[in-house]
Chains A and B, each alone.
Chain A
């Protein structure tokens, strides 16, 4: 492997350890699944927010699209049930297609706006889309889609249950890894250089010959596709139903932002660190002081972000600069 791709190693190790712990230490799979979800969420969101510096408050809408994509794949193609898992593949393709289409629509308009204006415009997208689905009764409107029985018909009861309790989480792990790999490939290509330049100074980047809109849209669509797959795997396959208020819930976007900032925006390893820190703290806080976790959580997050504006990995990277370890941390 070429030297510049070395930083993928710690990512692989982290996800491998998580997987092995969950698989071999009894009673930990639930927690591991939650952590994998947060890592994947951060990893996917980081490709856009971390690399471009733009904050998309409507990000969860792409996960919603993915969830609907899988739900529609399963309910509309259930007649192909003798082909079994092929329908799941169709579901993923639909999830990708729908999140891509939405990201193109949103990106084409909103990505022409700068910074805060973009952020504000995207808040509207998420809510607007939810009301559109409910109001116009698209995809069964506010009643949502329940597809437990179709899933059982397609895969059989046992396989469907194994899917929702185990394999869906493995898919989340794969999505997290692929998102990390994509991040590194971007970083090492012209795309990454263009994104860094436009994140730092959009006008200067333009004058340097960078078509900033093009690169923002590349990052936006890529990030949206990972969000869509994540929705399809973690929401649709784990819990075979979809209701608009649940999949357009803005607090997932907020969690994604926190994870990216905690770990270090624009870093490769940041979403792993951020996802683990966030997931573990949230898990234990909700056990020990249920109901009050936010009260304690919010100040802790603020303190961490103020102390380490670069995020945990950003700080680590500065510390290990010019050392052997530093070669693995980006």
Chain B
């Protein structure tokens, strides 16, 4: 059984169809890259999965449960974690407190008190390499540090599904490689499905994803193992053709 299943999901904003009849499945422990040009609906898809928006049509299943209209705060304890394209740290709290919030209200939240959550936070902060910034206010971090902090915060939730919204944009290539390795490692350790959504950073997709889903103007264009997907003509066209024409 798949961990996440979308069936014919459509999300509109007024007349604009941001996500158009998308069906997809993601298995437990699978690394998936969702790619597509700006405005193709990747972030909206994440918002529908995490419950920020409810879709107009279609159904969303997680762990065998229909969560289509479940409030977002009930999805996190089920194991859905995410980061935001534009980081949304709890600015007046420290990095440590931010990450501890993840543990406190995540899948193990009911059995973790504040102290235990802070310990978990310390552990994860160390792993993502933010140990030096532990007691800094999250609002004072650099954009890249904020993204790392968000990954740590989402990991502290012990999610089954982690959605990263352009988490590696703006990072140095070496850091991206490091991050990719780190994520691969925790995916295996924690059997966590990671949906990395990377837009331009093919390096991260090719280095990490087992399968790639390509979105184009809200519709799913390709859903295939990474190698196949990258050889697909339509992908090339979406990525390069349009922009060349536009020149």
Contact = CB atoms under 8 A, between A and B. Distances in A.
A207 B72 CA distance: 5
A320 interface: no
Nearest to B102: A208
Interface stretch (A161-169, A171-179, A192-200, A274-282): A192-200
Contacts of B113: 190
Given A206-B71, A206-B73, A207-B82, A196 B97 contact: yes
B29 interface: no
Interface string A201-233: 101111111111000000000000000000000
Contacts of A206: 51-52, 71-73
A196 B77 contact: no
Given A189-B114, A190-B104, A203-B52, A210 B73 contact: yes
B92 interface: yes
Contacts of B74: 209, 211
A209 B84 contact: no
A188 interface: yes
Contact of A207 (B51, B91, B97, B100): B51
Contacts of A188: 114
**Which secondary structure characterizes the binding site on chain A?**
helix
Contacts of A209: 73-77, 105-106, 109, 157
What class of interface size applies to chain A in its complex with B? 20 to 34
B93 A208 contact: no
A207 B90 contact: no
A193 B153 CA distance: 13
Nearest to B71: A206
B153 A208 contact: yes
Contacts of B89: 200-201
B90 A196 contact: yes
Contacts of A190: 104-105, 113-114
Nearest to A209: B76
Given A204-B84, A207-B51, A207-B82, A194 B90 contact: no
Contacts of B226: none
B101 interface: yes
Residue of A194, A196, A197, A204 most packed against chain B (CB within 10 A): A204
Nearest to B153: A208
B20 interface: no
A190 to B, nearest CB: 5
B144 to A, nearest CB: 18
B88 interface: yes
B30 interface: no
A200 B52 contact: no
Interface string B134-150: 00000000000000000
Nearest to B77: A209
Contact of A201 (B72, B88, B157): B88
A190 B106 CA distance: 12
A207 B82 CA distance: 8
Nearest to A214: B73
A207 B101 contact: no
Interface of A: 188-190, 193-194, 196-197, 199-201, 203-212, 266
Given A194-B104, A208-B105, A209-B76, 8 more contacts: A194-B105, A196-B92, A196-B93, A200-B90, A200-B92, A207-B52, A207-B73, A207-B82
8 contacts: A190-B114, A207-B51, A207-B72, A207-B73, A207-B75, A207-B76, A208-B73, A208-B76
